[in-house]
Amino acid sequence: MKRNSQLAQLLQNTPGLMPAIKIGDLISGTVIQKAAKSVYFDLGSFGTGIVYGAEFSAANDIIKTLKTSDRASVKIVDLDNDQGFIELSLAAAGQQKAWQDIKELKDGAASIKVKIEAANSGGLIAQVNDLQAFIPVSQLSTDHYPRVDDGDRSKILEELKKLVGEELEVKVIDVNPRAKKLILSEKEVASDNIKELVNKYKTGDIVDGIISGVADFGAFMRFADNPDIEGLIHISELEHKLIENPKEVVKVDDAVKAKIIEIKDGRVWLSLKALKSDPWETVEEKYKTGEEIIGKINRFNPFGAFVSLDPDIQGLIHVSEFGSVEEMKNQIAEGNFYKFTIEAVKPQEKRIILKLKSDK
């Protein structure tokens, strides 16, 4: 046991004898002496502090820059070491101060510029206050989002690598010093920049635009009258029928009209199908329960097969009609035409239930 540990405990807990400090606190000190393997700090009413041993080695680069009378942030390691000094850490203090500064950036919602140092398939890596920071793909602006058709991670990485060396304006959105987690967002800055531009539009407006990108989940459209605004048309808002790939409907540089269906936090969601007549509104006039019809197997999924009845309407034959997916694929094949009986027409659910007609 250290000789003065009980005294330190008494001083810390007794009002009036010593200001309340504790191990782990970050305080400011003035350099009063530099020795070969130690540095002494005047800590004011707290007394004298020392950086030595492993802490001296860890802070060697910092110590080289310090001169007598310089002030520096130090972290309390021990309230009373074997020499009777308050033991300090410069390296830990520097890191803790860096985390505190970053937290203030987050709380103040200020934007900063960072240089991209590396990339992986999940996002970009940068440095803030000598701490490693991460920008997830989901937090990139639409200009830098990797628009890879099939979601191939290697292709995403190739697109992200193009940003290494670039300077991006970002905001701090998540700070966790204990987990050494620092998350940045470029999208938040972009959203702030276009919020005022978006204010002139409202839900329900019909706008002209150009398809600026196509991804597996939908398409991006830049407004013709304001190219700084880019909205998203989700795959479900491209057509009334189910589609597998947005490229079935649109391609880059297509001129389109779209309806604004939501505006939130500077982001705009659009719909193409909202401007198209819904074939399901008149489906009961065209297809009747019990009717026999010819359809083409469009594609399989775990619960059955979609059947194209015309360019706009698909029916569904459930896997239970066959007993298993394997048996279903034995009896019917994608791209082939078969005779079906309509078992139910459900326009509200946008479903037509089919049964394979037996040749017997």
158 SS3 class? helix
Last residue of a domain, one of 95, 130, 151: 95
Domain contains 102: no
Give the dihedral sign, CA 204/209/212/218.
positive
Question: CA–CA separation, 182 vs 161, rounded Å?
Answer: 20
In the chain, the N- to C-terminal Cα span, in Å, equals 95
Domain contains 307: yes
337 and 284 within one domain: yes
Q: DSSP string of 277-315? A: --GGGGHHHH--TT-EEEEEEEEEETTEEEEESSSS-EE
For the ranges 73-82, 167-176, 257-266, which has the lowest average pLDDT? Answer: 73-82
Number of separate domains in the chain: 4
Q: Is the pLDDT of residue 152 over 70?
A: yes
Q: Which residue has the tokens 């101060």?
A: 97
CATH value at residue 290: 2.40.50.140
pLDDT in tens, 205-223: 999 999 998 988 999 999 9
207 and 265 within one domain: yes
Last residue of a domain, one of 225, 243, 275: 275
- Compute the average pLDDT of residues 190-218: 87
Domain contains 211: yes
Question: CA–CA separation, 207 vs 255, rounded Å?
Answer: 11
228 and 213 within one domain: yes
**How far is the CA of 265 from the CAs of 115, 138, 196, 221, 234, in angstroms?**
26, 15, 11, 17, 17
Domain contains 101: no
204 and 175 within one domain: no
pLDDT in tens, 308-340: 999 889 999 999 999 999 999 999 999 999 999
Residue 254 banded pLDDT, cuts 50, 70, 90: very high
128: containing domain: 109-191
223 and 206 within one domain: yes
